[in-house]
Amino acid sequence: MTTTLLSTNVFRIGALAAVGTLTLTGCFSSGAAEDTADRARVAMLQPPRSGLSQFSDDAFKLSRWSTAETLVTLDDLGDAQPGLAAAWNRVDERTWSFDIRPDVRFHNGATLDSAAVVTALTAATTAAPKPRILDGVELTVTATDDDTVEVTTEDVDPLVPQRLSSPQLAILAPAAYSAGGSDPVGTGTGPFVLTAVNGTSSATLDRNEDYWGEPAKLAGIDVDFVPDGTARAAALRNGTADVVEAIPVSQAGNIDPSLVHEVPMPRTNTLYLNTSAGVFADPAMRAAARESVDKDRLVEQVYEGRADTANGLLGPALPWAADRPARTETPAGDATGKKITLATFTDRAELPEVAVLLQQELEAKGFVVEQVVREYQFIETDALSSAFDAFILSRATVLDSGDPVAYMYSDFACEGSFNISQFCDPQVDAALADASATEPGDDRRAAILAAERLILEKDAAVPMLHERVIQGESEGLTDVARDPRERTLITDQTAFE
């Protein structure tokens, strides 16, 4: 019942957004929609789950389409760079001042000023649930003049600029927040204007001819949401898509190698264990599950060697994580006859295959396994509400701030908003708080690894492998972003030769 209502609501929100664009298209389309030869056709992995609300993971679609922008961006090293904020400085331990870039207009014609920034960021802080980048963070935003805002945090937070780079904290026009939530149609600032949304099926974007930066080289973007991996791969092979997200490993060998690009990802395929109830409330049973997992087998048989065996939550995309401290392991108990539910989703084609092999390995250890597999939009609510004993998830580990503390807090803190393991440990909370308060640099990295060690020693989750995304790009299309953080894809520089 719950998932049905959720799906219906998502469709309604998307449909309303599409209706709302009937007038917007007339106002903001540059006429590029008629120039189909200069438009990129994109096949994306997951449909919108929350009507393209920026406060959900849908925000990353808006970012990958270059329609919604943030005050701060990140470079390849994860260092903060100017975005809609031209500059910033730290006023004191808890206060940061940001200078708003001049001469920026939203897609609906409104001017970007400090009041608009206050409206957008305040909406994020009061959203329910809050964007995960704000897990454990209390901040207020005030305008000091028309072109400057101050961001004040309740606790000392050295990562405020990096947090403001999260796509979930994009700055949309004030009109986007008039009905609660956020509506990105015609309200961004980026080089592409979102002009139409067709529920969970497709979206249309046209070039923003009044962009504050360099105008986009493409006339527009035509997006289809294609959860089926085989269909996405076929779209690249038959030329009906120019850019394809997440080609399944099983399909990569069937495509011209010149069209396939592997991108090392800070993404970990992880087995989350329900620590609050059921079989895995017992630490010895969690240890038995950990010992069941044959990571090398999963890498070779499911990912055909296009992945890396996991020794921790953080993988080779963060080279410093390899220098992790040694940890102790809880002895495994006897799992014979223990009944568990193992769940995952179909949107990433490899995960059901991982579930099949993992079921075999768990059963060989003595567990009696029932498998549950659905589309993600129909299983997320159950996963977060402790409906399963174990859940297989492909999880980005530095998605929001370029720093893994936010991910670790979200997934493993007592108050974390994405705590599938239902895990709560005061020692881990203290370690995460210490890491969060530490200035960027070697000391912060050491604190992060100390928190990781505690989480793994409790077997709240079993990291199995680190993924590489396989991205497809048609011949003749240039400057498509290959972004490990999955924030950028089509940019103002993307073009056909």
Cα separations (Å) of 140 from 133, 152, 186, 496? 14, 5, 26, 44
Q: Do 280 and 305 lie in a common domain?
A: yes
Q: Which domain holds residue 206?
A: 2-242+474-496
Q: Tell me whether residue 65 is in a domain.
A: yes
Mean pLDDT of 319-326: 88
Q: Tell me whether residue 50 is in a domain.
A: yes
Q: E strands along 274-350, which residues?
A: 307-309, 339-345
Q: What is the CATH number of the domain that holds 353?
A: 3.10.105.10
Q: Do 151 and 235 lie in a common domain?
A: yes
The model's pLDDT over 263-298, given as tens digits with 9 standing for 90+, comes to 888 899 999 999 999 999 999 999 999 999 999 999
Q: Looking at residue 25, what is its pLDDT? A: 34
Q: Tell me whether residue 365 is in a domain.
A: yes
Mean pLDDT of 201-228: 96
Q: Looking at residue 31, what is its pLDDT? A: 38
The model's pLDDT over 418-472, given as tens digits with 9 standing for 90+, comes to 999 999 999 999 999 999 888 877 888 899 999 999 999 999 999 999 998 899 9
Q: Tell me whether residue 148 is in a domain.
A: yes
Q: Do 292 and 229 lie in a common domain?
A: no
For 126-192, give the DSSP string. HSSSPPGGGTT--EEEEEEETTEEEEEESS--TTHHHHTTSGGG----GGGGTTSS---TTT--SSE
Q: Do 350 and 219 lie in a common domain?
A: no
Q: How big is the CA angle at 134 (ends 133 and 140), to the nearest 5 degrees?
A: 135
Q: Do 334 and 185 lie in a common domain?
A: no
Q: How many domains does the chain have?
A: 2
| C-alpha span between 262 and 304 (Å, rounded) | 13
Q: Tell me whether residue 351 is in a domain.
A: yes
Q: Do 206 and 270 lie in a common domain?
A: no
Q: What is the CATH number of the domain that holds 478?
A: 3.40.190.10
Quick check: 412 pLDDT over 70? yes
For 397-421, give the DSSP string. SSTTTSSTHHHHHHHHSTT-TT-TT
Tokens of 233: 């791969």
Q: Do 96 and 210 lie in a common domain?
A: yes
The model's pLDDT over 123-151, given as tens digits with 9 standing for 90+, comes to 999 988 888 888 778 999 999 999 999 99
% residues pLDDT > 70 (the chain): 92
Tokens of 156: 């000392």
Q: Do 35 and 68 lie in a common domain?
A: yes
Local confidence band at 45 (pLDDT 50, 70, 90 cut-offs):
very high
**Three-state SS for 97?**
strand
Q: Looking at residue 20, what is its pLDDT? A: 35
- Upper half-sphere CA count for residue 291 (Cβ side, 13 Å): 17
332: left (phi over 0), alpha (psi -120 to 50) or beta: beta
Q: Do 157 and 294 lie in a common domain?
A: no
Tokens of 443: 């000391």
Q: Tell me whether residue 413 is in a domain.
A: yes
**Three-state SS for 104?**
coil
- Pairing status of strand 368-374 against strand 339-345: parallel
Q: Looking at residue 75, what is its pLDDT? A: 84
Matching residue, tokens 């210490």: 434
Q: Tell me whether residue 430 is in a domain.
A: yes
Q: Do 227 and 355 lie in a common domain?
A: no
51 against 3, higher pLDDT: 51
Q: Tell me whether residue 176 is in a domain.
A: yes
- Pairing status of strand 339-345 against strand 390-396: parallel
Whether the bond between 174 and the residue before it is cis, its omega within 30 degrees of 0, is no
Q: Do 84 and 124 lie in a common domain?
A: yes
Q: Looking at residue 249, what is its pLDDT? A: 85
Q: Do 308 and 419 lie in a common domain?
A: yes
| C-alpha span between 433 and 220 (Å, rounded) | 44
> In angstroms, how far apart are the furthest CA atoms of the chain?
67
